[in-house]
């Protein structure tokens, strides 16, 4: 995959102290602007306003956030709490944060050695997610070849799952890119993904950079696309997968799963093991983030499309039950059929199977 000109996230050490530099995803595709975090409140604000977003990248950002707090002498447990609670649905965020915090604590909980330990843990997580991305791309490409032996895939995706959301080439988008490189991608259908347009703004930006044959559609147009027989498979990412295989992902994923089931089209989820939360028994236990109503009532900040005072319903995610999921592709193997036992088996494989 073509590298982003500005990486989604990088650690830097200018003379005035370490910083976490983010590619401001709220300004894409118009400009590739950097957002520099010198402290934890700035990073929390960046997470909440979606400057940095997508499950694996949130975990990596959270871990670097702990390293930043440690390097700049803040109260690390308090910083970790603020970061972990910045967004509730993507399990990767809290996991990344507490992993770096544990490394900091194990190294004494104070001083330069502990700060170095937190940074080393953040870097390790970054590396692991990069490797996981490559492995998911390979396994996902093999799965597509099995599911769609005729080749020439017309794939539909929702939200944004590419290099902007992970240390590597992403999750579902990494599989799409592998298919494209193999000459098998006939069309990438990109759901615009209302209300914040991660598909239209970000996935289209990544697809254009890859010179993929892509087209953006209004979310509501997906039904007629399925009815016309124009979709061979749906590929999406995940923010949290419960122990029973229920998948929380960007709102609008569940209706796509229902459509795919109705039309007999495979519905494939691509997510690293770090997104599987085996402590959450089923989809009912997944906390869904409710975002401000103005994201729905305004077409862009300050541009309302509703009467003044209109109420809005704005859940950021929805939950797809396991019976609607054809397969979950992780870096340790493919879970299919999706059930509690198969998911547990694949997750408990050792990382050495990721070769
Ligand atoms: C790794 S991609 C999986 C998800 O994180 C992605 O599809 C998604 O829903 C992101 O939501 P966002 O609200 O933009 O952070």
Helix%, strand%, coil% for the chain, nearest 5:
45, 20, 35
C-alpha distances in Å from residue 242, one per residue of 17, 22, 164, 175, 339 = 39, 29, 24, 22, 10
Q: Is 239 among the residues known to form the active site? A: yes
User: How far does the centroid of ligand 1 lie from the alpha carbon of residue 285, in Å?
Assistant: 19
What residues are in contact with ligand 1 under a 6 Å CB criterion? 50, 53-56, 90, 159, 161, 165, 171, 198, 237-239, 249-250, 316
53 is in an annotated binding site: yes
Ligand 1 atom closest to Cα of 158?
A: 7
Model confidence at 98, pLDDT cuts 50, 70, 90, reads very high
CA of 310 to the centre of ligand 1 (A): 27
Considering the domain 129-353 in this protein, what is its CATH number? 3.40.50.10470
- The mean pLDDT of 26-54, rounded to a whole number, is 97
17 marked as binding residue = no
Q: What pLDDT, on the 0 to 100 scale, is given for residue 105?
A: 98
- For the question of an ipTM over 0.95, the answer is yes
Convert the pLDDT of each residue in 303-335 to its tens digit. Answer: 999 999 999 999 999 999 999 999 999 999 999
Q: Which residue is catalytic, options 191, 219, 239, 277? A: 239
In this predicted structure, the answer to whether residue 4 has a pLDDT above a threshold of 70 is no
For 102, counting Cβ atoms within 10 Å of its Cβ (0-12 exposed, 13-18 middle, 19+ buried), the class is middle
Residues in a beta bridge with 191: 217
CA 319, CA 241: separation in Å to the nearest integer?
A: 9
Half-sphere exposure of 238 (CA within 13 A, CB side): 30
Share of the chain above pLDDT 70, in %: 98
**Looking at residue 115, what is its pLDDT?**
98
Is residue 300 marked as binding? no
Architecture of the domain made up of 9-128: Up-down Bundle (1.20)
136-147 pLDDT tens trace: 999 999 999 999
- DSSP states of 229-249 as a string? T--SEEEE--SEEETT--EEE
The pLDDT tens digits of the residues spanning 287-305 come to 999 999 999 999 988 999 9
Mean pLDDT of the chain: 96
- Residue 103, marked binder: no
pLDDT, position 296: 97
Atom 10, ligand 1: which residue's CA is nearest?
54
- Name the residue of 165, 194, 248, 331 to mutate for ligand 1: max ligand atoms within 8 A of Cβ: 165
pLDDT at 355 > cutoff 50: no
Q: Which residues contact 210 (CB under 8 A, 6 or more apart)?
A: 1, 2, 177, 180
More confident residue, 350 or 287: 287
Per-domain boundaries in the chain:
9-128, 129-353
Residue 202 has pLDDT above 60, yes or no: yes
**Probe ligand 1: pick from 55, 56, 89, max atoms within 8 Å of CB?**
55
**Whether the predicted pLDDT of 48 surpasses 70:** yes
The CA distance from 44 to 185, in Å, is 38
- Identify the pLDDT of residue 1: 45
Q: Which of 3, 333, 292 is nearest to 170 (CA)?
A: 3
At 3 the pLDDT is 57
Torsion over CA: 44, 293, 203, 303 (sign): negative
What is the percentage of the chain residues whose pLDDT exceeds 90?
Answer: 95
Q: Helix 172-181 to helix 111-147 angle, to the nearest 10 degrees?
A: 50
- Residue 353's pLDDT is 60
How high is the pLDDT of residue 348? 95
Q: pLDDT tens, 99-134? A: 999 999 999 999 999 999 999 999 999 999 999 999
At residue 58's C-alpha, the angle toward residues 56 and 64, to 5°, is: 110
- pTM reported for the whole predicted model: 0.96
- State in Å: Cα 56 to ligand 1 middle: 9
Q: List, for residues 263-294, the tens digit of each pLDDT value.
A: 999 999 999 999 999 999 999 999 999 999 99
How far is ligand 1, taken at its centre, from the CA of residue 303, in Å? Answer: 25
Residue 198 labeled ligand binder: yes
- Amino acid 245: pLDDT: 98
């Amino acid at each position: 995959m073509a590298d982003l000109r500005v990486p989604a996230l990088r650690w830097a050490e200018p003379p005035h102290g370490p910083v976490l530099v983010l590619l401001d995803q709220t300004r894409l595709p118009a400009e590739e602007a950097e957002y520099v975090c010198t402290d934890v409140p700035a990073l929390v604000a960046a997470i909440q306003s979606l400057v940095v977003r997508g499950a694996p990248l949130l975990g990596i950002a959270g871990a670097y956030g702990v390293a930043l707090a440690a390097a700049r002498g803040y109260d690390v447990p308090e910083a970790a709490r603020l970061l972990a609670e910045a967004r509730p649905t993507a399990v990767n965020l809290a996991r990344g944060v507490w992993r770096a915090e544990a490394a900091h604590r194990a190294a004494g909980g104070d001083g330069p050695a502990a700060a170095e330990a937190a940074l080393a843990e953040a870097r390790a997580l970054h590396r692991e997610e990069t490797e996981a991305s490559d492995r998911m791309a390979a396994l996902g490409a093999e799965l597509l070849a099995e599911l769609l032996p005729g080749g020439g895939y017309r794939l539909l995706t929702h939200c944004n799952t590419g290099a902007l959301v992970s240390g590597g080439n992403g999750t579902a988008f990494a599989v799409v890119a592998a298919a494209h490189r193999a000459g098998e991608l006939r069309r990438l259908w990109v759901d615009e993904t209302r209300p914040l347009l991660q598909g239209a703004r970000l996935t289209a930006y990544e697809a254009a950079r890859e010179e993929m044959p892509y087209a953006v559609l209004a979310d509501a147009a997906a039904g007629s696309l399925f009815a016309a027989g124009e979709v061979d498979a749906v590929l999406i990412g995940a923010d949290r997968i419960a122990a029973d295989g229920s998948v929380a992902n960007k709102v609008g994923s569940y209706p796509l799963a229902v459509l795919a089931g109705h039309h007999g089209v495979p519905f494939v989820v691509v997510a690293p093991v770090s997104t599987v939360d085996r402590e959450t028994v089923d989809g009912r236990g997944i906390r869904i983030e409710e975002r401000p109503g103005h994201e729905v009532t305004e077409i862009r900040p300050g541009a309302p499309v509703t009467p003044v005072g209109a109420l809005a319903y704005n859940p950021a995610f929805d939950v797809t039950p396991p019976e609607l999921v054809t397969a979950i592709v992780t870096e340790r193997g493919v879970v299919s059929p999706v059930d509690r036992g198969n998911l547990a088996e694949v997750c408990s494989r050792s990382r050495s199977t990721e070769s």
